[in-house]
Amino acid sequence: MTSSQQCPHDSVSVLDNEFLQDPHVHYAWMRESDPTRRVVTVTGMPVWLVTRYADAKAALTDPRLSKDYRGMGRITEREVERGAQRADISESVQAHMLNMDPPHHTRLRKLVVKAFTARRVEALRPRIEQITGELLDEMAATEHAGDAGIDLLDEFAFPLPIRVICELLGIPEDRRDEFREWSNTVVSGQEPQAAEQAAAAMAEYLLELVAEKRRNPMDDLLTALIEASDDADRLSGEELIAMVFLLLVAGHETTVNLIGNGVLALLRDPEQYRLLRDEPERAASVVEETLRFDGPVNLATFRYTTEPVMVGDVEIPAEELVLVALGSANRDSEKFETPDRFDQDRATNGHLAFGHGIHFCVGAPLARLEGQIALRRLTERFPAMKLALPEEQLSYRPSTLMRGLEQLPVRLS
């Protein structure tokens, strides 16, 4: 189903796989008729879904919508007693800044930003260009050896950001396939027990890695995080593991889907592809429009109300879970004209793809840099690239958090 089709029913009650295959068609109805509504996740967890741009932007900065994982645990435990399922994720990977409010969030973000500087990100540009070139060469050789096309996600969109984030953090690349499997399982939210096991396996490995970095520090982000200090403040061992977990998962998941969704949007419209191919300086605009049109994060991570909160015309009671639909907000016609059309010439100022407020994605500059290099170099190297199968045969990952394809088969020439 595409968002240009009529919504088959006037309500959504479960964020199931049918919903995830094309949330935009449902979001359009909700923004118009029921912009803040109560639904349940596929695991039976009741949540309030916020879909309009103005409401979403306000919710992302409202201090009464807490991100504290301890309070969140209390509320989800209540729902588990009523029959919902949840992953019992260890605190060792939950105690990161995305799951905290000020002043704890402020402290953690300040320490991370000291290590994750704009200078450090920009210094990665030559290496990202080099990795991109190597992957393009490998893709060309792979397709030349056969005639069935290639999966752009497996051959390019995944290995590029995972190699970059592993090098940035100083993580051996030979574990990247394990990281992909662990990460996919954790962010899907579909199988709580599998998510628990994946998070535990990643935490165990990261604990070993941190111990090794303490013994043998290197010029990488993980060592910088270990050494980061502010007025004698440091990340505790638990905070460090959780922070690396967050950076590792977010550092490749967002970019994989940014590249995949951007390529699909370009391939849908040959004119949009031609514009970037002929004018590579458009890459930054293409990335921003991809972030708005079909960004890598569908729903922001959970928040909960610490007191009754008015969202639009709806009062959400205290101690209720809230999901802000970033993908819906970025298709709101009150903010963006003809929002269901991909247009790299539009003004995308104010899109919410990386969030808003104090939890704005700290890795956004890296994701943008990788996305720009990837899309520019792809269209330059393969000017005649096309989908290798009809678009209706593509499917999206079963994740409420991430908006990304399962596969993206293409023919390069």
Domains of the chain in start order, with CATH, are 17-411 (1.10.630.10)
- pLDDT tops 60 at residue 113: yes
* Beta pairing class for 303-305 and 65-66: antiparallel
Q: What is the pLDDT of residues 140-152, one digit of tens each?
A: 988 765 566 899 9
Polymer length in residues for the chain:
413
Give the separation between CA 164 and CA 124, rounded to whole angstroms. 8
Q: What is the pLDDT of residues 17-31, one digit of tens each?
A: 999 999 999 999 999
Confidence (pLDDT) at 272: 96
Q: Please name which of 365, 359, 306, 367 lies closest in space to residue 108, comparing C-alpha atoms.
A: 359
- pLDDT tops 80 at residue 44: yes
Q: What is the pLDDT of residues 146-189, one digit of tens each?
A: 566 899 999 999 999 988 988 888 888 777 778 778 877 877 76
Confidence (pLDDT) at 190: 65
Give the separation between CA 50 and CA 59, rounded to whole angstroms. 8
Confidence (pLDDT) at 84: 86
Give the separation between CA 198 and CA 292, rounded to whole angstroms. 31
- pLDDT tops 70 at residue 12: no
Confidence (pLDDT) at 360: 94
Would the pTM count as exceeding 0.75? yes
- pLDDT tops 90 at residue 296: yes
Residue type, 224: A
Confidence (pLDDT) at 167: 85
Does 57 or 112 have the greater pLDDT score?
57
